[in-house]
A and B are shown apart, each in its own frame.
Chain A
Amino acid sequence: MNIDDLLNDPIQYVKKTAQSCGRNVVAFFPVGVPIELIHAANLQQFPLIIMSEDFSAADAYMHTFACSLSRSVLQKFLSGDLDFVKAFIIPDICDSLWSLYNIVKLTDPNRKLYLFHYPPKKDDKSLNYFKGEIIKLWEFLKELSLSQSSEEILKDSITKFNEQRKLLRKLNNMRKSNSPPFSGTDFFKLMLAAFFMPVEHHIDMLNSILGNIEKWGTKKEGVRLLVSGHMVENVALIELIEESGGLIVADDMDIGSRHFSQDLAVRKDIFAGIAEHYLMTPSPYRHSVEDRAEYILKLAKEFDASGVIFLIRKFCDPYLFDYPILRRMLEEEGIPSLLLEYEFPFSAAILRNRVEAFIEMLR
């Protein structure tokens, strides 16, 4: 299966892969949930990057002012499309997801759900508590697994993901060039694949791309941009920006640089290492806006971005709260930004107009 097929029908892709590998499927919101644990428990990961255009079932159970990502998941859940999923990991990052957790539980009390807690601080007590959370999640996952697992296997998994991270960084660093060998659209597709594909396959793919980089992807010209947000669940959004004269050279996203910017250090206390890694990556669910600004500014400088686009889903509180201050802090450093609030299905014409106007201003 190639990446486009995968992205066209992610549910089908996950089902097939799980079947061929003989694994149970665990679905999770890919926002700081340690994917290494899922891998080490020999489970098939299913990142809940799904979009629904029909909300008829979900609307009866959830208000329309919840974000459409949580509504999409609820829709698919209620219509039975996710019946093959053994368990759901829902990180407690926003009120839409906490409510989704509760609603799913009310409609189907027997469903296996795991609410994953993030402390909003970085001190030792928080780290220690978070480590406990990770161990609990590990135990939960091991029970779902069809095979035995161990800390040794977990170490191997971490090593694999670090290998993936290293390769992604290598590729990502090529975007620093004046004329990167591939577009932002290409990179985002690869990033989405990183969360869906078994990591071994993804590493093979990255190696073959790196071995033949001139043949991979499409070179594009455009105004250099950084995108910031949660994740891009539909590459069409990135394509739209690049078709409007932008070239995305860097990102501050969960399905993006937050995943690969740092290796996960294997410590003697393996769970402490995992906790530290996931607690330290700047993201709005737990960090201050100052921390986030620092991360974005550093990236913008390193990748020579002329502007920043905040890609934020309608009703996404954590990101919308940070936006006004981030905008101002970037402005103070001479970096203009644009808030692109979107909703699926989005109106391409309106978004394109706004992006074009922004890019015009940057030229």
Chain B
Amino acid sequence: MKKVRRSLRAARRITNFVIAHYLSAIEAHRRNKWVAWCTAVPPPIEILYAMDIQPLFPENYACVCAVRKETMELFRKSEADGYLQDLCSYARCVIGFLLGGKAPLGGMEKPDFLLSTKNVCSIYLKWWQVMSHYLKKPLLILDCPRITDKIEKYHIEYVKDQLVSLIEELEKITGESLDINRLRSSVELSRKAAELWHKSLDLRKNKPCPMGVTDASAAMFPYVVSAGARDAVEYYKMLYEEVKNRVKEGIGVVDEEKYRLVLSGIPYWHNLRLFNYLEEKYGAVFVYELYTATWGIYKPDPSKPLESLAYKSLFNPINLPGEWTVEWIVKVMKEYDADGVIMLSSRSCKATSLLHPAAQKVLSKEYDIPCLIIEADHTDERAYSDAQVKVRLDAFMEMLEARKEK
């Protein structure tokens, strides 16, 4: 049994951040401001913050429900209405809430409108249409075409053009016009937060690794919900200092770090203890997650706010070609001196999972990178078997051990 460090102070503060975030929507309504339900992968929320519109994120909310193990009633509600268990469990969770299921933190404050991108999964659009239907509130859509080669000028122009229309719509809704200087400052705040967040992640190249996957998965929250607001920057300043200190003092996630791993896929929120299992039993630490690194991967430029927000919306790993993801993994394996990749597939999230088997083949054949694929569900614990998962993890770790001895 390896000794595992207590989590980062910054990570423990996330609970307060989460609560404050959900309260901020209630507060916004009290001040006669607007609330929007947004997809979590880069819609340009910097624009919303510049216009005093408070974004809320149903995906994050579903994840909060899963961490607190308060999803079952919500699933039952949506399933009773015909939303089958194969559908995205995040979506089923929030739809369950809209259909009257009891939800934690008093539920989400209802929005004045909804905003969906189309840059991760095809579910976004469908799910947001469904919510817009139940809430009887308008749905705004930002279409981001899939990138099959590289991001071209015409892609950026297309998204930028839509941003212009989006701003017009928002001005109609709020009756106030966007102040371009405010937008610039909000893009600057977003850039700063992204930079600090990624600087903190970069510190995990150090040995021992100063921040584990559980902390990183918590600490990404401020960037997701507050890109463009001041609180995210404050938060990441604090996080960066703390992680830097750990590096200075040589403090790692575990006392004897033996294996360094890369994670692909969404954490199984209902069972974050799985990570502890690897840390405690094997001294195996995740040093990089494609998931947490996705947020802030591109740093927007305040001198050309619309263009760079357009780019940010397009530049999202799942929107990029499969080869890009494979190369990304190969690159971080090297940079972080990692031993293997664990891919958490989710049966109800095709977008983050379907590439796993093919990527595993290419990584092991062409790059000799060991990968393990686990199959469960990111929010729905009924699709998870702890014993089976551990058997597979054990076998994988034994294999890594044998490789080390060679």
Contacts and interface: CB of A to CB of B under 8 A. Distances in A.
Contact of B354 (A63, A113, A324): A63
Q: How large is the interface on A (under 10, 10 to 19, 20 to 34, 35 or more residues)?
A: 35 or more
Nearest to A117: B145
Contacts of A93: 122
Contacts of A198: none
Q: Looking at A66, A99, A290, which has the most chain B CB atoms within 10 Å of its CB?
A: A99
A103 interface: yes
A315 B86 contact: yes
Q: Looking at B82, B91, B121, B348, which has the most chain A CB atoms within 10 Å of its CB?
A: B82
Contacts of A113: 148
Contacts of A349: none
Nearest to A292: B129
B25 to A, nearest CB: 25
A125 B323 CA distance: 30
B345 interface: yes
B350 A115 contact: no
A283 B362 CA distance: 36
B133 A106 contact: no
B15 to A, nearest CB: 32
Contact of B129 (A99, A102, A132, A289): A289
B357 A323 contact: no
Interface stretch (B158-166, B181-189, B292-300): B158-166
Given A62-B354, A63-B353, A288-B129, A98 B122 contact: yes
Nearest to B126: A321
Interface residues of B, number: 49
A320 interface: yes
Q: Looking at B143, B350, B361, B362, which has the most chain A CB atoms within 10 Å of its CB?
A: B350
Q: Looking at B83, B123, B133, B375, which has the most chain A CB atoms within 10 Å of its CB?
A: B133
A324 B83 contact: yes
B122 A95 contact: yes
A155 interface: no
B161 A105 contact: no
A73 to B, nearest CB: 14
A331 to B, nearest CB: 11
A94 interface: yes
Interface string B279-297: 0000000000000000000
A317 B87 contact: yes
Nearest to A61: B358
A96 to B, nearest CB: 6
Interface string B142-181: 0101101000001000100110010000000000000000
B351 interface: yes
Contact of A102 (B87, B127, B145, B355): B355
Contacts of B395: none
Contacts of A321: 83, 87, 91, 123, 126-127, 129-130
Contacts of A61: 357-358, 361
B250 interface: no
A100 B273 CA distance: 33
A103 B354 contact: yes
A95 B121 contact: yes
A60 interface: yes
A157 B42 CA distance: 42
Interface in A70-126: 92-96, 98-99, 101-103, 105-107, 109, 113, 115, 117, 119-121, 123, 125-126
B123 A95 contact: yes
A119 B143 contact: yes
A277 B323 CA distance: 34
B122 A318 contact: yes
B356 interface: yes
B359 interface: yes
Contacts of B132: 288
A66 B83 contact: no
A284 B133 contact: no
B141 to A, nearest CB: 6
Nearest to A319: B126
Given A320-B84, A320-B87, A103 B133 contact: no
Contacts of B148: 101, 113, 115
A65 B81 CA distance: 22
A339 B345 CA distance: 28
A328 to B, nearest CB: 8
Nearest to A66: B354
A98 B146 contact: yes
Given A62-B358, A115-B146, A317 B350 contact: yes
A129 interface: yes
A286 B145 CA distance: 13
Contacts of A117: 145-146
Given A285-B122, A320-B83, A339-B82, 6 more contacts: A61-B361, A92-B145, A102-B321, A102-B358, A318-B126, A324-B83
Ranked nearest first, the 9 interchain pairs of A and B with the lowest CB-CB distance are: A102-B322, A99-B354, A324-B82, A321-B126, A95-B350, A103-B358, A117-B145, A61-B358, A95-B351
6 contacts: A99-B351, A123-B165, A125-B162, A315-B86, A317-B87, A327-B82
